[in-house]
Chains A and B, each alone.
Chain A
Amino acid sequence: MTRPNTGELQPEEAPGAELKSYAVGLLVSFLLSAGAFAAAFSELPTNWKVIIICLAALLQIMAHLRNFLHLNFSGGQSREDLLLVMFSVCLLVIMAGGTWYIMSDLSGRMHQNGADHAMERPAASQGL
């Protein structure tokens, strides 16, 4: 596992390890983005496509947080920031998920049961 640059900086340390971390992040992100686009163009059933796209997005977000923004549990400030991000995501899930829960229920009761499948998709809660 490459060591992300958490800032435990020794001046003589070479940027090699960090470059590698960025390179891995780039590669992973690129593959996941490409995968998501490929899934969208593919002939898979809709549900599968949606699942693949969501999964790819989630993984890519995690890769960005770890490799580009250097968040991890190793201690110090990076850990505090990661906890902050996780707390924010919890609240975001409450707010966006609640919105989805309320608005889809309302729209269901406005006699558009047949029409609101588009809303049933889990497009709501992932802001990250």
Chain B
Amino acid sequence: MSSNNGLYPGLNLGSVHDEAHQQAEATVFGFWVFLMSDLIIFGILFASYASYLNPIGMAGAPGPQALFNLKSVAIQTAFLLFGGVAYAGVSLSMKYDHGAKKLIGWLLICALLGGGFLFFEISDFIDQAAKGGKPQASGWLSSYWLLVGLHGFHVFSGIVWILAMVGQILTRGVDDVVKVRLSMLGVFWHFLDLIWVGIFSFVFLVPLA
């Protein structure tokens, strides 16, 4: 029992082998540390966004009222929320050995929902650019595009990672290494939700409130 204590959620490593567990623990912990570094990047971008959110920062270019489409933001939020929860399917079917097929199925659902999010986000960006909201138009728009765009890029990387994991499951099977990577991917995927909560609240809703 004690060898299992402190193991990561969803990790059901084949052998009860102390070193494998320790390595898995260290790896996922390391990934958490990396994400915290990423969190600081987002945090500074949030703070910068706030510091450009004034008439001087907007420099006469279109502002939040003219550019933001809250309906689309709500749709994106829904996509991302359900995409995050869908990863529960991955975690649980990995933990309870439901087989590679189910695992891949859930992964693809996550990727699809993430893709849906990206579709709406990119069409928003195109729309905003057409209305004169290009990042070159003002300091505020620069910070908006960088913050939201960086999050979008993270989602895109997450999708690439999901596809790479599908490839790994197909080529090497669901071995211990793949399991550890899937739980890191899970942490990443849920982390993107967290950032998005910050973005839709503070980037979109607060300036319009």
> How far, in whole Å, are A33 and B84 apart by their CA atoms in the complex?
14
B46 touches A123 (CB 8 A): yes
Q: Which A residues are CB-close (under 8 A) to B39? A: 88, 92, 127-128
Q: Does A99 contact B (CB under 8 A)?
A: yes
Q: Does B117 contact A (CB under 8 A)?
A: no
Q: Which of B8, B81, B207 contacts A118 (CB 8 A)?
A: B207
A19 touches B92 (CB 8 A): yes
Question: How many A-B contacts are there with CB distance less than 8 Å?
Answer: 199
A33 touches B46 (CB 8 A): no
B49 touches A61 (CB 8 A): no
A80 touches B40 (CB 8 A): no
Chain A, interface SS category: helix
Q: Which of B6, B40, B82, B95 contacts A88 (CB 8 A)?
A: B40
A14 CB → nearest B CB, Å: 8
Residue of A nearest to B37 (CB): A88
B187 touches A85 (CB 8 A): no
Q: Which A residues are CB-close (under 8 A) to B130? A: none
B187 touches A99 (CB 8 A): no
> How far, in whole Å, are A112 and B54 apart by their CA atoms in the complex?
9
Q: Mark contacts of A82-125 with chain B using CB atoms, 8 A cut-off: 1 yes-contact digit, 0 otherwise.
A: 00110010011001110110011001001010011011010111
A8 CB → nearest B CB, Å: 6
B1-46 contacts to A, CB under 8 A, are 1, 4-12, 25, 28-29, 32-33, 36, 39-40, 42-44, 46
Known A8-B5, A40-B208, A112-B56: A69·B187 in contact at CB below 8 Å = yes
Chain B, interface SS category: helix
Task: Point out which of B11, B36, B47, B193 has the most chain A C-beta atoms below 10 A from its C-beta.
Answer: B47
Q: Which B residues are CB-close (under 8 A) to A118? A: 53-55, 207
A42-63 contacts to B, CB under 8 A, are 46, 49-50, 53-54, 56-57, 60-61
Number of A residues with CB within 8 Å of any CB on chain B:
67
B44 CB → nearest A CB, Å: 6
A77 touches B25 (CB 8 A): yes
B176-198 contacts to A, CB under 8 A, are 187, 190-191, 193-195, 197-198
- Residues on B facing A (Cβ under 8 Å): 1, 4-12, 25, 28-29, 32-33, 36, 39-40, 42-44, 46-51, 53-56, 70, 74, 77-78, 81-82, 84-85, 87-88, 92, 95-96, 187, 190-191, 193-195, 197-198, 200-203, 205-209
- Residues on A facing B (Cβ under 8 Å): 4-9, 11, 15, 18-19, 22, 25-26, 29-30, 33, 36-37, 39-41, 46, 49-50, 53-54, 56-57, 60-61, 64-65, 68-70, 75-78, 80-81, 84-85, 88, 91-92, 95-97, 99-100, 103-104, 107, 110, 112, 115-116, 118-119, 121, 123-128
Question: 15 A-B pairs, CB-CB below 8 angstroms?
Answer: A40-B205, A49-B209, A50-B206, A53-B206, A57-B201, A69-B187, A75-B6, A81-B29, A81-B32, A84-B32, A100-B51, A112-B54, A123-B46, A123-B203, A126-B202
Given A68-B85, A128-B195, 8 more contacts at CB 8 Å? A39-B209, A53-B201, A54-B202, A68-B193, A77-B6, A100-B47, A107-B54, A112-B55
